[in-house]
Structure 1
Amino acid sequence: MAGDAGLRNFTTLARLALRGAGRIFSPRSLGPEPGMPFEQAMSTLLADPGVSAHVRTARLVALGAESGWEAVGFDVAPGDEVTVIAAGGFWASKPLDLGFGARIGLWLRAGGTGPIRKTPTNASSLVMESAGALEIVAKPPGEWADEQGGFDTAYPRGGVAGEIGACVIVWQRSAEAGLEAMSRAGDYEGLVARALDEARHPVPAPQGWHYLWRLGEGRIFREAHGADGRTICCHTSGDVGILQFPADFPLTENTRLRWRWKVDRLPCDLPEDIQPTHDYLSIAVEFDNGQDLTYMWSSSMAEGTIFRCPLPFWDKVETHWVLRSDPAGLGKWLSEEQPLKADYAKAVGAPPARIVKVWLIAVSVFQRHEGICEYADIELVDGDRVLKIT
C-alpha cells in the first residue's frame, strides 16, 4: 500500500511539473500587480476631492511574505468601517504553478490583541470590533497560535516569495458611500468596482453557521431557498474556507450523519492526498477530542480510501474518507448516511464521547480551480433523537 501511494504521489507531482512547464511563457496571474502603478492609482483616487471628503484616514502598505504584523499608522474604534484594496501575491513554487493572491492572505487586528480578521477578498470592507492601533499582515491561510494573532512557532513561514500592496482606508461614515465616490473617480484593474460590489452585496454565512476563525471569513458559502428547499451553496475558486455549526451530540453505536449533496464541479482533477493537490469539497464532523473526520468527494481516488490530511497542523487533527469518486454522480443529488462511531474507529482509533461541530469544507487554494456544490438536509440522528442542521 505504501509503495502504491508513493508511486501515485510521484506520478501526481510529475503531472504537476508538466503543467507548470507548459505555463512558463504564460503563467497564471495571482491577481492585479502591486508596485508603482497600483500605488499611483490608489494615491490619485484618494486625492480626488469627491473621495477625500469620505476618507478619515488611509495608507498604502507594502507587505513581504515573511514579515510580521505591521502598524498601519492610525487607530480605529469599534464600528469603524475599513476597506482594504490589495494587489499582488506570493509564490510557493512557480514551476508547479503554486501561489496565492491577496484575496486570501490579508489579516487585520486592532490594539495588538485581536481578534484577527481576514479580508474575504482582495477588495473588501470590514466593520471593526475592537479599538486601538490598526495592524496588518500578509499570511497564507492556516496555522495561528491563537485568535489574537500570535504565530505558531511550530510552523515557521518560509519558502515563499512575492509582495502584496494594500491600500487601507478608514471611512468617515460608510464604506459603501466612500466606494461609490471612488468608483466615480476611477479604478485600478477592477478592484474598486469589486470593493463596491462587495459592500453593496455582502454574503453572510448561512443561518446558524460561522467560518472557522483559523482560516477567516469568506464568500464561499451562501444560503439558498428553491425547489429543493433550503440548501447551502458552495462556490470556491482559488480560496479556502471551513463553515462550522455547533452540535453538542453524543456519539453512540447508533449515531448517524445524514445529508444530501450535489457536486457539480470538483476543484482538482488529480489525487488530493498530497499538499500541492489538496483541493476538495467535503462535509466533516468534529469531536470533543479535537479530531475531525471528513467525508470528501475525490476526482480520482478510490471510494473507501482513508488518509491523514497532508497539510501541516491539520495532519495532527484531520482524517479524510473518500466517500464518492464516480464521475457519473456529478451533477446529481445524492443521499448519504454514515455510522460515525464505526467510521471513527476504522479511520482514526478509539472513539471519543461526543460530537461538537459539523463542518463544510471547500479548498481550491492550491490548484486555483473552481469547485461548485450544494448541501441539504444535514442532520445528526440517534434513534428518535434528531438534530436538524440544514
Structure 2
Amino acid sequence: MAAGAGLRMAGTLVKLAARKVFRPKPVGPAGGAPFDAAFDRLLAAPSVAPEIARSTRLTLEANENGWAAAGLRVEPGDEISVIAAGTLWASKALDMHFGPRIGVWLRAGETGAIFKTPGDVASLRVKEGGPLFVVAKPPGEWADEQGRFDPAFPRAGIGGALSICVIVWKNGAAKGLEALARAGDYEGLVTRALAQARNPVSTPEGWTYLWRLGDGEIYRDVKSGESRHIHCRTHQDVGILQFPADFALTDTTRLRWRWKVDKLPCDLPEDIQLTHDYLSIAVEFDNGQDLTYMWSGSLAEGTIFRCPLPYWDKVETHWVLRSDAMELGRWLAEDRPVKADYARAIGAPPARIVRVWLIAVSVFQLGEGICDYADIELVDGERVLKVI
C-alpha cells in the first residue's frame, strides 16, 4: 500500500472511531425474553388463534454453525409472516452491527432454494414445501443456492442473537395480521408487518435481486405516463438488482444512463470494509467480473479500486465516477466506453456483457442512500438494448 493511501486509511479509521463514540446509532427492536413474551401473548389471543395454521418462535445465535429446524412444515403456496428482532454484532467497539433486515434466511426442505426476508417484518408466499429451516447470517457467505456455507469464509467473529416468529396463516397474511394488530403490538413490529402485507414493494419489472444477497425492498418502479425510472432507498441494508443483458463487448459498446443521487449512505472513503457503503450502477461480464460505476462521498473522481470485501475482492472493481457534492440532487447523464474502461480498470476484456446491476449498500455505517435511475441502455452502433 502506498504511504499516502495508508495515511488516508488511518485518518478514516480515526474519524470512524470518533463518530462511533459520539454518535452511536440505535440498535432497533430488542429480541430475547420481551419479544418472546409479547408474541406468546399475541398469538394466543382469541381473535388471532383461529387465523393461524401453524406458528413457531425460535432464537438464532450468531455463532451457530448451521441451519436450525424451525419446527414446522410449509407447503407450496402457503402465506407466511416472519417477524424478527435483535442484533448481530461484528464489533461492539466500533458499533458495527446488523439486524434481521439482512440476517434472516429460510429454506423449505434440505435441498430447497434459500430465500431472505426483505425486512425485519415480511409476508411472502412459499414456493417450495418441506420442513422449514432458518439461519441468522450476514449476506455473501453462500457456496450455492441451497444454503451450503462457503468454507473460504468461516462463520466467526459475529456475536448476538435474533428472535424470530414465523406464522403460517389459514386465510392469508393480511387478514391474519389484521387480527394480530387488533390484539396488540410489540415495538411497532406488528403495525409495520400489516402495512407491508397490505402494500408490498414489488421488484421493478424485468429485474431480479441477486440471490447471494437476497430479496429486498430497496428498489421500486416509478411510472408517470410513458416515462419510467427506478427509485432506490437503502437504509441499514444491502441489495443488488440485476437485469439480463446478453450483449457483445466491442470497442464501440457503451453504457448510457441518467441518475439523480439525493443522499449518499457514507461521507468517508469507501475503499475499506468498515466504510464500504455506496450507490452504483454496474456491468457484469461473461468471465464473472463486474465493473461498477459509483458515486463517492469523498474519493476523487477517477479513483479505481478493487472491492475491499471478502469474495467480492475477487470479482468486483469500483470506478468513482462522481463525487462532487454540488451535483447531488441533479439529474446527470453518463456515457461510458465499457471495453476501454474494463481494460483500464481490470485488464484484458472478455467477450460479452451478461447483466446490468444496480447496487446499494448501507450496512456498515448504517446510514441512508437515496437515488433514482433512468434511461439505462447498452448501445453499439445501431444495436440498442433498452434496460429501462
Asked whether the two chains share a fold, i.e. TM above 0.5, the reply is yes
The alpha carbon displacement at 1:229 in A equals 2.2
Q: Which residue of 2 aligns with 1:290?
A: 288
Q: 2:299 aligns with which of 295, 298, 301?
A: 301
1:11 correspondence with 2:11: yes
Residue 29 of structure 1, CA deviation:
2.3
Instruction: Report percent identity of matched pairs.
Output: 66
Structure 1 residue 228: Cα displacement: 9.3
Matched, 1:34 2:31: yes
- Give distance in 1, aligned partners of 2:188 and 2:85: 11
Instruction: Write out per-residue CA displacement over residues 3-40 of structure 1, whole angstroms, 9 at most, x where no aligned residue.
Output: 211111111111111112224xxx42221001111100
Instruction: Describe how 1:100-139 pairs up with structure 2 within 5 A.
Output: 100-139=98-137
- Displacement of 1:227 in angstroms is 8.0
Give deviations 1:300-339, integer Å, cap 9, x for gaps.
Answer: 0000000000000000000000000011110000000000
Q: Secondary structure at the match of 1:349?
A: coil
Aligned partner of 1:221 in structure 2 is 219
**Separation of aligned partners in 2, 1:58 and 1:388:** 45
Letter in 2 for 1:219: E
Distance 1:31 1:228, change over 3 A: farther
Q: Deviations over 1:341-360 (max 9, x none)?
A: 00000000000000000000
Which residue does the alignment assign to 2:308?
Answer: 310
CA distance in structure 1 between the partners assigned to 2:97 and 2:304 by the alignment: 27
Query: What is the Cα deviation at residue 276 of structure 1?
Result: 0.5
Q: Is the 8 A contact 1:19 1:96 kept in 2?
A: no
Amino acid at match of 2:214: G
Q: Determine whether 1:205 maps to 2:206.
A: no
Runs (4+) off by over 4 Å? none
Aligned to 1:333: 331
From 332, 349, 352, give the equivalent of 2:350.
352
**Does structure 2 retain, via aligned residues, the 8 Å contact 1:110–1:135?**
yes
1:138-179 deviation digits (Å, cap 9, x = unpaired): 011112000001100100111111110001111112011100
State the AA in 2 paired with 1:11: G
Question: How far apart, in 2, do the equivalents of 1:226 and 1:328 lie?
Answer: 27
Secondary structure of the structure 2 residue equivalent to 1:328? helix
Q: Bigger shift: 282-291 or 27-36?
A: 27-36
- In structure 1, what is the Cα distance between the partners aligned to 2:173 and 2:49? 13
Q: Distance in 2 between matches of 1:228 and 1:364?
A: 32
The residue aligned with 2:41 is 44
Q: Deviations over 1:331-390 (max 9, x none)?
A: 000000000000000000000000000000000011011100000000000000000000
CA distance in 2, matches of 1:122, 1:375: 26
Question: How far, CA to CA, are the matches of 2:340 and 2:225 in structure 1?
Answer: 34
Three-state SS of the structure 2 residue aligned to 1:53 is: helix
- How far apart in 2 are the matches of 1:226 and 1:262? 17
Match of 1:258 in 2: 256
Q: For residue 270 of structure 1, give the secondary structure of its aligned residue in structure 2.
A: coil
Equivalent in the alignment of 2:61: 64
For residues 2 and 287 of structure 2, what CA distance do their matches in structure 1 show? Answer: 28
Q: Deviations over 1:182-220 (max 9, x none)?
A: 000000000001111110111111110000000000000
For the 8 Å contact 1:33–1:87, the answer to whether it is kept is yes
Give the match for residue 143 of structure 1: 141
- SS of the residue corresponding to residue 47 of structure 2 reads helix
In the TM superposition, what whole-angstrom CA distance separates every residue of 1:114-143 from its partner, at most 9, and x where no partner exists? 210100011111211111110000011112
Gaps of 5+ in 2: none
Amino acid at match of 1:17: A
Aligned counterparts of 1:276 and 1:341: Cα–Cα separation in 2: 31
Q: Residue 276 of structure 2: which of 253, 261, 278 is its match? A: 278
Change (3 A) 1:278 1:227: farther
Distance 1:224 1:314 in 2: 30
Moved more, 346-355 or 28-37: 28-37
Q: What does residue 90 of structure 2 align with?
A: 92
* Partner Cα separation in structure 2 for residue 66 and residue 78 of structure 1: 31
CA distance in 1, matches of 2:211, 2:231: 20
> Structure 1: 5+ residue runs without aligned partners?
none
Q: Distance in 1 between matches of 2:126 and 2:147?
A: 15
| Superposition TM-score, scaled by structure 2 size | 0.98
Alpha-carbon distance in 1 for matches of 2:299, 2:117: 33
How high is the TM-score relative to the length of structure 1?
Answer: 0.98
